[in-house]
Structure 1
Amino acid sequence: MPVALLLAVTPVMALADSGVDVSNWQGCVNTSRAENAKNAGASFAFVKVTEGVGYTDKSADCSMAGFANAGIRRGVYHFARPNLGNTPEAEADWFISQTKGYVNQGVIPVLDWEPGGKWNTQTWWAKRWLDRVQAAWGVKPLIYMSASVVQSGDWTEVAQADYGLWVAGYPRGYAGDRLRDPGNVPYSVSPWKFAAAWQYSSSGNVAGVGQAVDVNWFYGDAVTWAKYAGQADTKPVTPPTVAPSEPKPSTPTGDTDSIARAVIRGEYGNMPQRKQLLGSRFDEVQARVDQLLASNGSGSSTSSGSTSVTVRAGDTMSAIAARTGLYPLSAWSVPSGNINRIWPGQTVTYRGAAPSVTTSTPSGHVVRAGESLWSIYGTGWQAAAARNGISYPYLIYPGQVLR
C-alpha cells in the first residue's frame, strides 16, 4: 500500500512530535549535544548531507552518529541546485553515493527544494530526482519546500506519485521560538492532502543544537516514521474515530503600521497564506504595505553607512548583491539570519563599506542565471576558476563578472 494512503489519517491523530534540521551551520551535533536536544524534546532530526554535485556536508556523518547514539530518529537531505545547470540524475546519484550507508537503517531521504526564481516551478526536475532516489533506496523520499513554493508550480505529479511533503512557513516570523506543538499547518498544501511535517520556525532555541535552529513538527509517531523510512515490520497505525476540527488562525491585533512592517519583514509569509493570517484586516494592512514599499522607490535606501533593499519576487542575495554592486555576501543582514532564505517584501541590509563609484564597463563575462563554469568555459573551467579565485564547490552567481 502506498505510504501516503497508509498514513492519510496521521495529521488528525494525537501522534506527533518535535524535531530539528541541521547542517554545517550547527557543526557536529555529537552524542552529548544530541542527548541535550533529546532532553529538550527533540525526537527526530533531518541532517543535510549533500548539495549539487560534489559537495558533502563535513558535519553530516558526525551528527548522524550523534543523533543515532542519543536514540533520535533521523532523515538525510540533499539541497538541490538545478540553477547550476546540473541534471536531476547527476545530483541524485551524488546523494545516493554519499548516503548508501543509511539505506535500510530507518532513515528518511529528503529533497530540499528551494532553488529560487524560475527554478521553483521546475517540478519535473524534482520529480526525476525523487524517482531516481526511490529506485536506489527502495523508499519514497519526502520533498521540502516553503508554503509559497507549493503554490508556485504544478506539483500534481509529485503528490500523486506518493512523495510526502515537508512544508516550511513561519506565521510567527523570526521571533525566538522553541520545540512545541504548533497545531495544524495554517497554509494550503494542495495538491497534497496533508503535510507529513511542518517547519514552523527557523529561530528555535534548542539545547544542545543552538539558538537559531529550524524547528519542526512531524505528524506521526515512531511507527509512522518507520513506515516513511520503508520499515515494513511495524504494526499498523489505528485511525481515530473522530477527527478534530482544524484550528483557524486568529486575526492579528495592533496598529496597522506595525502589522504592515511585520508583513514586509516576512512574518506573515506570502500569498495566499498572508491573506489567511491577516483575516479581516488584510485590505487595510496590504494598503499600508503598498504605501511603505512605494515610498522606498526602487526598493533600496541608504542611511548611516548601510544600504537597505526590499526583496523582489525571484530575488536571491546573489542577485541583490549584483544589482547593487555590494559585496561580500557575508556583509548582508537578512531577517532569517540565513542569506539563502529570503522572501519578497522583506528588507535586507548591507552593512559593509560602500563600493567606489565607477563608470567603466565591466571587463569579462557577466554571469547569467543558470550558468556554470562548465557552460561558460567548457574544458577550460578549472583554469577560469583559478583565474577568478573560485574554489570548491565552484559556485558562481548571476551578475558576477568573470575574467
Structure 2
Amino acid sequence: MFGDADPVEWKGHAPQAYPVHGIDVSRYQGNIDWPTARAYGVSFAFIKATEGADHADSSFSSHWYGATLAGVPHGAYHFYYFCRSAEEQANWFIANVPKERGALPPVLDLEWNAGSRTCPYRPDSETVLSEVQTFLNIVGRHYDQQPIVYTTPDFWQHNQLWRLHGAQPWLRSVAAHPSERYPGEEWTFWQYSGTGLVPGVAGQVDLNTFAGSRRDWSAWVADQAL
C-alpha cells in the first residue's frame, strides 16, 4: 500500500514478497499522521534519536509519542560519528532514549558520511569493529536487548561487519535483494527504498521490510521488545 517516487523494477525476490513493512524517520519527515500511516501498512518504525555524542534529533520525542499512541511498534536509532568515542556515544544515546516497555531493540546506524564538515575521518576496519562492538555492548546491556546494526553494502564489506557479535543486521539495498549485495548473509530488516511514499508521511521516506511472515513478526516482537 506504499508508493515510490523512484520505483525499481525488481528481478527475483521483490520486497512485496514480504508481508511486514515499516519506515525509518527523523526530523526531515516533519509531523507524521501515525494512525493513517499504520492504517496503510506501517507495521513498525525506527526513529532517529541521536547522533555523535551531543546531537539529539529535534523530532524524536514527537515521533516516539505519536507512534506509541497509534500502536506502531517502534525503536530508536543512533547515527555513529567517527570523531567521538563509542563510550561517549552510547551514554548519549542512553541519556536520550527511554527504557520503555514494548520498545523495539536499539539501532546503530553505520555508514560513511563523506559530506560531514566536522568529521571526515575514516578509521581502519579494526578500529571500527572495536569501537562499534563497545557501543553495542554498552547499549545492549542497558536495554537488555540485542541491538540492530543498520549499514550499507560498502561499509559492510570494507569493515567486515559480519565479524560483530550480538547484533542483528538491517541491510540497505535499494536496487537488488540483499542476497545479491550481501551474499550468504542473513538479515532481520531490509531497507529497500529511500524514496517511499506513505500516506500520513509528508514527502519521501525510507521503506523497510522484515525477513519473515506475520507470524514470525509477532514472535520476533514478543521476544525482542522490552
TM-score normalised by structure 2 residue count: 0.80
User: Structure 2 residue aligned with 1:154, among 160, 167, 177?
Assistant: 160
User: RMSD across aligned C-alpha pairs, in angstroms?
Assistant: 2.1
SS in 1 for 2:178: coil
Counterpart of 2:169 in structure 1 is: 165
Letter in 1 for 2:221: W
* Deviation of the 1:126 alpha carbon: 1.2
The number of equivalent residue pairs is 197
Query: Percent of aligned positions with the same letter in both sequences?
Result: 29
Alignment partner, residue 86 of structure 2: 88
The answer on 1:25 being equivalent to 2:40 is no
CA shift, 1:209, in A, is 1.1
Q: What is aligned with 2:131?
A: 125
What letter is aligned with 1:227? D
Misfit runs of 4+, over 4 Å: none
The structure with the larger Rg is: 1
For residue 203 of structure 1, the aligned residue among 195, 213, 218 is 195
Q: What's 1:226 paired with?
A: 222
Q: 1:112 aligns with which of 109, 113, 118?
A: 109
Q: Please state how far the C-alpha of 1:58 moved relative to its aligned partner.
A: 1.4
What are the equivalent positions in structure 2 for 1:91-102 lying under 5 Å apart?
Answer: 91-99=89-97, 101-102=98-99
Matched with 2:75 is: 75
Q: C-alpha separation between the residues in 2 aligned to 1:138 and 1:27?
A: 31
Task: Indicate how the Cα distance of structure 1 residues 16 and 224 shifts in structure 2: closer, same or farther if over 3 A, else same.
Answer: farther
C-alpha distance in structure 2 between counterparts of 1:28 and 1:15, whole Å: 28
**Aligned-pair distance for 1:16?**
4.3
Map of 1:185 onto structure 2: 178
What whole-Å deviation, never above 9, does each CA across 1:171-213 have from its counterpart, x for those lacking one?
Answer: 07xxxxxxxxxxx5343436x7411000001000111113311
**1:72 alignment partner, SS class:** coil
SS in 1 for 2:223: helix
Give the whole-Å Cα distance in 2 for the aligned partners of 1:227 and 1:189. 26
Alpha-carbon distance between aligned partners in 1 of 2:46 and 2:25, rounded to the nearest angstrom: 6
Q: Counterpart of 2:31 in 1: which secondary structure? A: coil
Letter in 2 for 1:95: F
Distance in 2 between residues matched to 1:206 and 1:88, nearest whole Å: 34
1:359-400 CA-to-partner distances (Å, cap 9, x unmatched) read xxxxxxxxxxxxxxxxxxxxxxxxxxxxxxxxxxxxxxxxxx
CA gap of 1:18–1:151, structure 2 versus 1, over 3 A, is same
Using the TM superposition, give the Cα deviation of residue 74 of structure 1 relative to its aligned residue in structure 2, in angstroms. 0.2
SS of 1:165 mapped into structure 2: strand
Superposition map of 1:206-285 within 5 A:
206-220=198-212, 221-230=217-226
Matched letter for residue 90 of structure 1: E
* Structure 1 position 162, deviation (Å): 2.8
Kept after mapping to 2: 8 A contact 1:17/1:217? yes
Displacement of 1:149 in angstroms is: 1.6
Q: Aligned to 1:47, what secondary structure does the other structure show?
A: strand
Provide structure 1 residue ranges, at least 5 long, that are not aligned to the other structure. 1-13, 173-183, 231-403
Query: Displacement, 1:222?
Result: 2.5
2:182 partner SS: coil
Shift of 1:115: 3.3
Contact 1:21 1:47 in 2 (8 A): yes
How has the CA–CA distance of structure 1 residues 133 and 39 changed in structure 2, closer, same or farther, with 3 Å as cutoff?
A: same
Deviations 1:30-73 (A, max 9, x none): xxx01111122110000000111121111111111111111111
Q: Distance in 2 between matches of 1:36 and 1:216?
A: 17
Are 2:30 and 1:38 equivalent residues in the alignment? no
Q: TM-score, normalised by structure 1?
A: 0.46
Three-state SS of the structure 2 residue aligned to 1:61 is helix
What is the letter of the counterpart of residue 29 of structure 2?
A: Q
More strand, by proportion: 2
Cα deviation per residue 1:264-285 (whole Å; 9 max; x = unaligned)?
xxxxxxxxxxxxxxxxxxxxxx
**In structure 2, distance between residues paired with 1:46 and 1:120:** 28
